Amino acid sequence: MNHDPLRISAVSALPGQRLHLTFEDGWQADVNLSGWIENTRLFKPLQDAALFAQAKRGEWGEWGTSVVWVDDVIDMGADNLRHLATEQAGGIGHERLIHWLHDNQLTQEQGAQAIGVSRRMLCYYLRGAKPIPKTVWLACLGWQTASTDKRFALAA
């Protein structure tokens, strides 16, 4: 069985608009959604503690790809929740790398070469299967700076 790090196996609502999540790879984390609920019109109804407490694992196809409060109305993707939980725990969320590749118009092969990791390792990072070391994220930022500012251009 594949233990997908971007699929939720269990969810429970906690006080303070927080969720306790267990992902298929066994990683558990709490994620605070109070900022999202406060600032996103779609999530405003979740200010009602009784509604927030109804959080459940998305059962579409029994894949666990979301947390659902109101079917087809209020839900949040497991990949976004994994990213938020990672960031809130002080780590580097996988979505940062996705955006870095997109913003710099890099393929996975080009991105891996740019920061000095194998394409396979980059893929692990992109799908949340391995934690992203801060040194890897710093390499991304350094590469971006060097590629956009002639003063820091790297020799080809």
Q: pLDDT digit string (tens) for 112-123? A: 999 999 999 999
126 within a domain of the structure (yes/no) = yes
The pLDDT of residue 76:
93
Same domain (yes/no): 51, 110: no
The total of structural domains in the chain comes to 2
Residue 145 belongs to what domain range? 94-152
2 pLDDT band, cuts 50/70/90, is low
Same domain for 100 and 79? no
What residues contact residue 18 under an 8 Å CB cut-off, 6+ apart?
A: 30, 31, 32, 33, 34
**What is the Cα–Cα distance from 29 to 27, expressed in whole angstroms?**
7
Q: CA 65, CA 84: separation in Å to the nearest integer?
A: 15
Q: What is the CA radius of gyration of the chain?
A: 18
**Comparison of pLDDT for 6 and 42, the residue scoring more:** 42
